[in-house]
Each structure stands twice: as structure tokens, then as C-alpha cells.
Chains A and B, each alone.
Chain A
């Protein structure tokens, strides 16, 4: 079964850091680009970051550029999001999503998400 399981969310103070992880299983991880997408409860989907199959290209939404870093370890079938200088507006449910292909295209598999709460 194709599966994505996010972890690492939690309560963090403004200005601090947090690292999200996504464990993939059931497919050949290094064949596909991967993404992080977030959603504030009651609001829409926001693409946060993406990384191509070989980490050759990474992309970030403007609102996280310079603060978040996406990475992947194909040997461990894992995707990561290092978040720093966290702000109240970063508080959301963060989804890990598998791309349809090797570049940025569409997202055909989603995890259940991990919640990030930013508060003092």
C-alpha cells in the first residue's frame, strides 16, 4: 500500500525551529518529486515547498523562502522540512505529498498531515 506518514509537528515558540519528517512506503521513492503543502484550519491549501526526485531542483513559496529548507534521503525513503524563525502565521496542518512524476506536476498521494502550533 502506498503510504506517507508525517511526524515532527508540535508546539514551538515564535522564532524557534522545528523539523518535519515524512516516511514513504509502498512505492519507489526516488522516482518521484515530493512536496510539503500546508492548510490552516478552515482555510485553503498552500504549497510550501517541493523537491525533485534527485534533489536537483527545490522550490519554495515566497512566504517561507530563507526560513524553510526541504530535503530528502532517498536511501531512507524520507522527506524533510526544516523550519526556522517560525511565526504565528506558520501555524497549520502540514501535509507531505507525492508528485505524479519526477518534476513538479500534480500530487497523487497525500499523508494525513502533522500539526504545527506556534505560540509562546
Chain B
């Protein structure tokens, strides 16, 4: 059971928009800890996609965006492409656990 809760799967047609939610609690996201998002393509290491709730590292397309409100955060992907099919994870810091926490991951399928 992950500390951060994500839907197991989402799907969307090419060109459409999807969102992935990440729900935490008052000891992590709600405690003002930033949320970060990672993309993991099959057979590869995770890649940082969004850091600090809404910032994109260089090289990440602006089709990817992040937001945070209260004890939750969201990753939005617009203009879906086949290459976006991957597993997506949210991550934050939990002050009660004094450690880093991940969501359980969301499998994105591009229909």
C-alpha cells in the first residue's frame, strides 16, 4: 500500500488529454512538500518529468504539466502520442516517515 495514491491505469486516444491524480495526506503533500513526477518507459530507468509540482526539466515537452492543491497533485498530458505510453509515478517527502514516498504508479495506455 503506497503512501501516495494513484489510479492503476488511465487511457486516452492520440491527440487527447489525460490527467493522472496523486493523493497524499497532511504529512506529505498537505504538509507543503513538493510533488515530482517520473515517466518510466518499459525496460528503462525512471526519468524525471516534473519537479517542484509544476516545473519541467529541460527537454521535457510542454505537453506535460503538473499542478498541486491541498493534499493532491495532478499530471496532465495533452496531445497524447503513442510514445507517451508508459508508467507514471508521483513522489514527495513525508515528514512523519522522514523519508521519500512514491505513488503506486499509473499505467498510461494510448488507444
Contacts and interface: CB of A to CB of B under 8 A. Distances in A.
Nearest to B51: A106
A106 B45 contact: no
Interface of A is mostly: strand
A108 interface: yes
B15 interface: no
Contact of A106 (B36, B101, B103): B36
Given A44-B89, A45-B89, A95-B45, A106 B102 contact: no
Interface residues of B, number: 25
Given A47-B91, A59-B99, A100-B48, 19 more contacts: A35-B100, A44-B89, A44-B105, A45-B38, A47-B101, A50-B99, A50-B100, A60-B99, A95-B46, A104-B100, A105-B36, A106-B48, A106-B91, A107-B38, A107-B46, A107-B48, A107-B91, A110-B46, A113-B45
Interface of A: 35, 37, 44-47, 50, 59-62, 95, 100, 104-108, 110-113
